[in-house]
Structure 1
Amino acid sequence: MDKWKTIKERLRHLGGSVELLADGHKLQLVKAHNGKRIFVRVFVDGSIDFEWTKTEGGKPVHPEGRFWRPMKRAAYSKKHYAALKRGWGKKEADRMITPRVIAVVPDFGTEGATVAHLKKHFPDLEIKADEVAP
């Protein structure tokens, strides 16, 4: 079975988890909930340090942040576009409503989104040896 399918399969149910090795770091993916929504949380080397959420120029400041989801937000919502265009001009108004990466967060909405991110950025990751089923 493909390693990406194996990861998705293990995260299919609430409480599911899998340990991975990527770029010299140990990742633990855990499917959890907070009472309102279900998500996949990524632990890097067994912990989450919210210092790792910082970004500069859309890239994570700390190397551990590369494993997390980039969070994009715009300075203003599109409903304010007309007023921004009148006040600042079209070019500046377009820049103000364009989403930019403002942080990286350890939660992904689905296991598919988690796998897609890891597949894109870490194609050579491995499932930890003691995690592989016989």
Structure 2
Amino acid sequence: MDKWTDIKERLRHLGGAVKLLADGYELTLKKAHDGKKIFVIVYVNGAVEGKWTETKDEKPVYPEGRFWRPMKRAAYRKKVYAHAKRAFGKKEADRMVTPRVVGVVPTFGTEGAVVAHLKKHFPDLEIKAEEVA
């Protein structure tokens, strides 16, 4: 079994957790819920800080943000496209409704999504050995 399948297995059940080492950071992935949704949250060195969500030119400002999910949003909804096209022209209307990264968030919808993100950006990460008390 490879490390990616092992990570998915450990996160399969609610409350599942796994510790990883990537680029000198310790990542803790935990499957949790908020009463409505089930998600996987990524802690970097045991913390989640709000300032790490900032982006500049669609890239995270802080290095800890690299481990989180990029959140894409458009400035305007698609339903205003026809009006914007008449008012501003096609090129500007296309830019207005095209989604772009506006921040990064520490939650992923599924364990597969977090594994795909880490596999793409950090292929050399390691699963941290469990300490026995």
Q: State whether TM-score is above 0.5.
A: yes
Specify the SS of the correspondent of 1:8: helix
Residue 58 of structure 2 corresponds to 58
Report the Cα distance in structure 1 between the residues aligned to 2:62 and 2:81, rounded to whole angstroms.
34
Residue 4 of structure 1 corresponds to 4
Structure 1 unaligned blocks of 5 or more: none
What code does the residue aligned with 1:117 have? H
What code does the residue aligned with 1:95 have? R
Specify the SS of the correspondent of 1:129: coil
Report the Cα distance in structure 1 between the residues aligned to 2:120 and 2:77, rounded to whole angstroms.
29
Per-residue CA deviation, residues 38-74 of structure 1 (Å, 9 max, x unaligned), is 0000000000001000000000000000000000000
Residue 85 of structure 2 corresponds to 85
Report the Cα distance in structure 2 between the residues aligned to 1:130 and 1:15, rounded to whole angstroms.
16
Residue 114 of structure 2 corresponds to 114
Report the Cα distance in structure 1 between the residues aligned to 2:84 and 2:109, rounded to whole angstroms.
32
What code does the residue aligned with 2:108 have? F
User: What does residue range 93-112 of structure 1 map to in structure 2 within 5 Å?
Assistant: 93-112=93-112
Q: Cα offset for 1:130?
A: 2.0
Q: RMSD of the TM alignment (CA)?
A: 0.7
Give the number of aligned pairs: 131
TM-score norm. by structure 1 comes to 0.96
What code does the residue aligned with 1:71 have? M
Residue 43 of structure 1 corresponds to 43
TM-score norm. by structure 2 comes to 0.97
Per-residue CA deviation, residues 46-105 of structure 1 (Å, 9 max, x unaligned), is 000010000000000000000000000000011110011011100000000000000000
Runs of 4+ in 1 over 4 A off after TM superposition: none
Residue 32 of structure 1 corresponds to 32
What code does the residue aligned with 2:107 have? D
Residue 127 of structure 1 corresponds to 127
Structure 2 unaligned blocks of 5 or more: none
Percent identical residues: 73
Report the Cα distance in structure 1 between the residues aligned to 2:130 and 2:37, rounded to whole angstroms.
30
Report the Cα distance in structure 2 between the residues aligned to 1:39 and 1:72, rounded to whole angstroms.
18
